[in-house]
Amino acid sequence: MTLMRCRAVLVLLVLGAPLCHAAQPGPLNILLTNDDGWDSVGIQTLKTALETAGHHVTLVAPNTNRSGSSASLTLDLVQVDQPSANTYAVNGTPATCVFLGISGILGQRPDLVVSGTNKGKNLGPEIPFSGTVGGAVAALRAGLPAIAVSTDPPVDDETDPVFIQHFQNVAAFTVRLITRLQTSNPDPGLLPRRTALNVNYPPLLPGQVQGTAVRVQGQAAAGLLIYREVAPGVFIPAIGPPPPGQQEVRGADGPAFEAGFVTIVPIDGDYTANYGVLLTMAFVLLGLQP
């Protein structure tokens, strides 16, 4: 499927134009992971919502916070604990949890991998560093459809009812998104081949959300990660200024998110530059001897 057709299909799926007669969706076998840890509010709320919708959910997630782990793998011995039924806490990265869940726990390939809900947005140039998105990329490598879900909560206190309700709202949206994919997709597999969705929900009440926007991954960084020395040989991370001269791409996810939209970016984990750059480099490097 071409990139343009892939985008067109996803726009129709998300925005609601019927592609075929809707069928009554059946329950899915879902592998659920995240990078905030198996017991975080985001993943536990999402698990409850998916199960309430009738899906069979197996939670396989890190036993500690693994934010910023991208799609890295844990290649040492992996310890797995089972705090409750269908819930597994793993001393590994989100991508590790996905491969472990598929091969060592489920005993069969799931219909869908969902990663989230992450506390903190994953937009633009932040996407490659996200452990939440890394879990979805691991699913792609296994040939499975995937959805990564992130949000900026309106408050930071995880015990605040506003915080909890916000994650319930995001979970409800995710359930509706999955239902839309089930009932509107003309092809098997929920999503176009080698495609995952990176979803970011703004810190707003449902009535304040402006809508759903299918966008491209932005390229303008709000700031760069830097490290400051606080003692001899001891550094702490901080956010520094953005790189100079950067320009945002047309149709980027960041501006839509800031305007109050739920943004959905189709991703495929492909690091190849665009076709124009590919041709330019082929011309420059033509004839270079190895």
Q: Is 16 left (phi over 0), alpha (psi -120 to 50) or beta?
A: left
Paired tokens of 188: 């098997």
Q: How does pLDDT run across 131-149, given as a tens digit for each residue?
A: 999 999 999 999 999 999 9
Strand partners, 197: 147, 266
The pLDDT assigned to 11 comes to: 52
Considering the chain, what is the average pLDDT of its residues? 88
Displacement of CA 282 from its chain's centroid (Å): 32
Predicted confidence (pLDDT) at residue 9 exceeds the cutoff of 80: no
**pLDDT 10s digits, 159-201:** 999 999 999 999 999 999 999 999 886 556 789 988 999 999 9
Bigger pLDDT: 20 or 7?
A: 7
- Kindly report the pTM of this predicted structure: 0.87
What pLDDT sits at residue 161?
95
Give CA–CA dist 5/1, Å, rounded: 6
| Range with top average pLDDT, 48-52, 185-189, 244-248, 270-274 | 48-52
pLDDT tens, position by position, 42-53? 999 999 999 999
Buried/exposed 31-63: b ≥16 CB within 10 Å, e otherwise: bbbbbbbbebbbbbbbbebbeebebebbbbbbb
Instruction: Name the token pair of 89.
Output: 């806490």
Per-residue pLDDT at 22 exceeds 50: no
The pair of three-digit structure tokens given for residue 190, joined into one six-digit string: 């929920």
DSSP H stretches of helix in 76-117: 94-100
CA 84 to chain centroid = 25
Domain residue limits, the chain:
3-217+252-285, 222-247
Cβ distance 46 to 117 under 8 Å?
Answer: yes
DSSP alpha helix (H) spans, 28-109: 41-52, 94-100
Query: Strands 80-84, 87-90: parallel, antiparallel or unpaired by DSSP?
Result: antiparallel
CATH label, 3-217+252-285, candidates 3.40.50.1860, 3.40.1210.10, 3.40.190.10, 2.40.37.10:
3.40.1210.10
Q: Which tokens go with 76? A: 């040492």
The rounded percent of the chain whose pLDDT value lies above 70 is 90
Tell me the torsion sign for CA atoms 258, 116, 120, 171. positive
Structure tokens at 245: 């001269």
Signed CA dihedral, 4, 8, 10, 14: sign only: positive
